[in-house]
Each structure stands twice: as C-alpha cells, then as structure tokens.
C-alpha cells in the first residue's frame, strides 16, 4: 500500500483502502457508459465490458479474463433483439454464462438492472425474459442486488416507435413514473459500492403521468407530428397495462430529475 510521510513525519494512507475492481457488463450502453464514468471518477478500477471491447456473455469470449480479481459485477447488458424467443434466449444464456464465470472468479456482489413490474406482466415476452434473468440470479450462490427501474426518459422515443401505426401512436392511459438515465446510473453506482442486499430495490422518477399524455408531450417537444390515440387495450411490448402495472410499490428510491427539466436540457444540446 502506497504511503507518504507528512510534514510532521506522520504517515498518511495515499491509496483508497476501498478501491475495487468492478466489471460493468454492457459498459458501452446508455446506462453502462454513465455508470463506468461515475465509478472511475470515484477512483475505482472499472472494466467496461461488451462485445465491442472483446467481452461477450453469449459466447463467453473474454469473460474469464475480464472477471479476474473483480469484486463486483454489474450487468446492464441488453438483448440486441426484443423478439420473444430471442430475448429470452439472450437473458438466459447471458445470465448463466456470467454467473458461472463470476462463481469461478470468486466475485462477491452481482448487481443487475431490471424493470419495475416485470413479474406482474407475463404477457410481455421482454418482461418474461427479465424474470428469467432475475430467477437465475436469485438461484445462484453469489450475493446480489437487483435494481428494478421504471422506464427511462431516454426510452420514450423507442416506446412511441414500437406503438406507432402510420401517423398514429396507440397507447393506454395507464399511470407510469419514468426516470432519467442519469438517476439510474447514480442509484446503480451507490448500490455497486454498498453491500449486497440479496433482494430487490425499486427506482422511479419524481412524477407520475398517464402513458398516452406523456408520450404525446414527448412527441410535441421533439416536433414530431404523430398523434397519440388513447386505447385502454393498447399493448405495451405485448401486454395490456393498468395503473399498477409499471408503477413502483412502497418505498422506491426516487430520482431527482423532472421530465420537463430533462426535456429542456435535451433541447439545448
Ligand atoms: N429502457 C428502459 O426504460 C429500461 C427500464 C428498466 C430497466 N432497463 C434495463 O436496463 C438495461 C440496460 O439498458 P440500456 O438501455 O442501457 O442498454 P443499451 O444502451 O441497449 O446497451 C446494451 C449493452 O449491452 C451490451 N451487449 C449486447 N450483447 C452483449 C453480449 N453478448 N455480451 C455483453 N454485452 C452485450 C452492448 O454492447 P455493445 O455496445 O458492444 O453491443 C451494450 O453495451 C437492460 O438490461 C434493460 O432491461 C431498461
């Protein structure tokens, strides 16, 4: 450990005793990039792992090397395809390969990012795949923390796209409580540096909206002429929604960034 003599010859510790090696799987993605930067700024050794950097949780390429001496692994990878069968295969294969590589490397904390309400919406192929991912984590012997987040503000354009038919966007009026990706990365950084809870923590934004109104506001702000049509039976990634489907339960963590402020910052970029 690096030590230095002070002016009065006392010894001070120059190396942070809690500096950790942390591997972020999906480290090149939306959340991964922000999380990697945050953890590096705090002085940790962080590996941003993804196929682009030679680490692939599906083929196993580069995984053992990346995990050597790692204390914590954070999984924020996402499936390249959201098709029902493909996404289930991705999260199952990736989860299995990753957890067994972590067991071999002696990793002490597995952190994963999931979705609020994922176990309430079995009609959705994507959310069934996230449940499968969570179940693998819970069944493994590795201490873990799962953060279930609500929809990211950054994902609203993708939601509008997936619900578009011509010039109209079909959405239910169900309540949602979306969150900024900066708040998700901040919550994940905090969890990564803490002790495993062997359980699930929820995260949501500071305000609730009706889904149809939220997406219409988003489209207007982006000067997108598409019109949102409200339909209580409109499906969200394969499933109908009610006011409880995507909103958090008791005591979620709450992000700081409000939707309007996020929109305003985005329009100045
Ligand atoms: N979108 C939402 O509103 C929302 C809400 C709650 C939770 N989540 C969860 O948040 C997580 C992260 O989402 P995101 O939007 O940040 O994802 P993203 O931007 O799409 O990034 C996906 C990441 O996964 C990596 N990846 C893909 N295939 C991989 C493989 N075989 N091995 C290792 N890494 C692989 C990609 O690497 P390359 O760049 O190298 O391809 C990329 O770094 C997801 O698990 C999602 O379920 C999302």
What is the structure's pLDDT at 13? 39
CB of 32 within 6 A of ligand 1: the answer is yes
12: CB partners within 8 A, 6+ apart:
3, 4, 6
pLDDT band at 266 (very low <50, low <70, confident <90, very high): confident
Q: Kindly tell me if the per-residue pLDDT of 29 is higher than 90.
A: yes
Distance from the alpha carbon of residue 113 to the mean position of ligand 1, in angstroms:
9
Identify the H or E element spanning 254.
strand 253-254
Confirm if 74 and 63 have CB atoms less than 8 A apart.
Answer: no
Comparing 10-19, 69-78, 150-159, 236-245, the range with the smallest average pLDDT is 10-19
Q: Residue of the nearest CA to atom 36 in ligand 1? A: 26
149 Cβ closer than 6 Å to some ligand 1 atom? yes
The span from the CA of 126 to the CA of 131, in Å, is: 9
- On the question of pLDDT at 17 being above 90, the answer is no
Q: What is the pLDDT of residues 175-213, one digit of tens each?
A: 999 999 999 999 999 999 999 999 999 999 999 999 999
Instruction: Determine if ligand 1 sits within 6 Å of the CB of residue 247.
Output: no
Instruction: Read off the pTM.
Output: 0.93
pLDDT band at 41 (very low <50, low <70, confident <90, very high): very high
Which positions ≥6 away from 176 have C-beta within 8 Å? Answer: 150, 151, 208, 209, 210, 211, 214, 246, 247
For residue 268, what pLDDT is reported? 52
Please provide residue 79's backbone torsions phi and psi, each rounded to the nearest 5 degrees. Answer: -75, 135
Q: What is the predicted pLDDT for the residue at 267?
A: 63
- Higher pLDDT pick, 105 / 13: 105
Cβ(57) to ligand 1 under 6 A?
A: yes
Q: How far is the CA of 12 from the centre of ligand 1 (A)?
A: 41
Q: What is the DSSP letter of 61?
A: T
Q: Quick one: pLDDT band at residue 7, thresholds 50, 70, 90?
A: very low
The pLDDT value recorded for residue 11 is 39
**Conformation bin of residue 24: beta by default, left when phi > 0, alpha when psi is -120 to 50:** beta
* CA 177 – ligand 1 centroid, Å: 21
What's the token pair of residue 139? 């069944």
Nearest-atom index, ligand 1, CA of 27? 43
Decide whether any atom of ligand 1 lies within 6 Å of the 51 Cβ: yes
Does ligand 1 come within 6 angstroms of the Cβ of 191? no
pLDDT digits (tens, 9 = 90+) for 116-167: 999 999 999 999 999 999 999 999 999 999 999 999 999 999 999 999 999 9
pLDDT digits (tens, 9 = 90+) for 49-90: 999 999 999 999 999 999 999 999 999 999 999 999 999 999
* Location of structure tokens 């962080």: 46
With b for 16 or more beta-carbon neighbours within 10 A and e for fewer, the 98-118 pattern comes to bbebbeebebebbbbbbbbbb
Confidence band (pLDDT; 50, 70, 90) for 5?
Answer: very low
SS3 of 195, please? coil
Residue 235 and residue 228: Cα distance in Å, rounded? Answer: 14
């Amino acid at each position: 450990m690096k030590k230095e003599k002070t002016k009065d010859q006392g010894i001070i510790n120059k190396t942070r005793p809690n500096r950790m090696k942390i591997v972020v799987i999906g480290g090149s993605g939306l959340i991964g990039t922000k999380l990697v930067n945050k953890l590096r700024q705090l002085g940790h050794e962080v590996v941003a792992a993804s196929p682009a950097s030679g680490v692939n949780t599906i083929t196993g390429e580069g995984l053992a090397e990346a995990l050597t001496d790692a204390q914590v692994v954070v999984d924020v990878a996402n499936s390249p395809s959201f098709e029902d069968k493909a996404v289930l295969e991705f999260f199952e294969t990736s989860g299995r390969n990753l957890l067994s590589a972590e067991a071999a490397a002696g990793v002490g904390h597995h952190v994963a990012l999931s979705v609020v309400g994922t176990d309430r919406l079995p009609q959705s192929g994507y959310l069934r795949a996230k449940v499968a991912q969570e179940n693998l984590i819970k069944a493994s012997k590795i201490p873990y923390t799962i953060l279930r987040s609500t929809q990211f503000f950054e994902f609203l354009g993708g939601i509008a796209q997936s619900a578009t038919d011509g010039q109209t966007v079909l959405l239910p009026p169900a309540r949602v409580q979306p969150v900024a990706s900066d708040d998700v990365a901040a919550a994940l950084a905090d969890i990564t540096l803490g002790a495993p809870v062997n359980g699930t923590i929820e995260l949501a934004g500071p305000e609730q909206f009706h889904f149809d109104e939220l997406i219409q506001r988003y489209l207007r702000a982006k000067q997108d002429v598409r019109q949102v049509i409200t339909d209580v039976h409109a499906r969200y990634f394969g499933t109908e929604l009610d006011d409880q489907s995507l909103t958090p339960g008791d005591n979620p963590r709450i992000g700081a960034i409000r939707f309007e402020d996020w929109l305003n910052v985005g329009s100045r970029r």
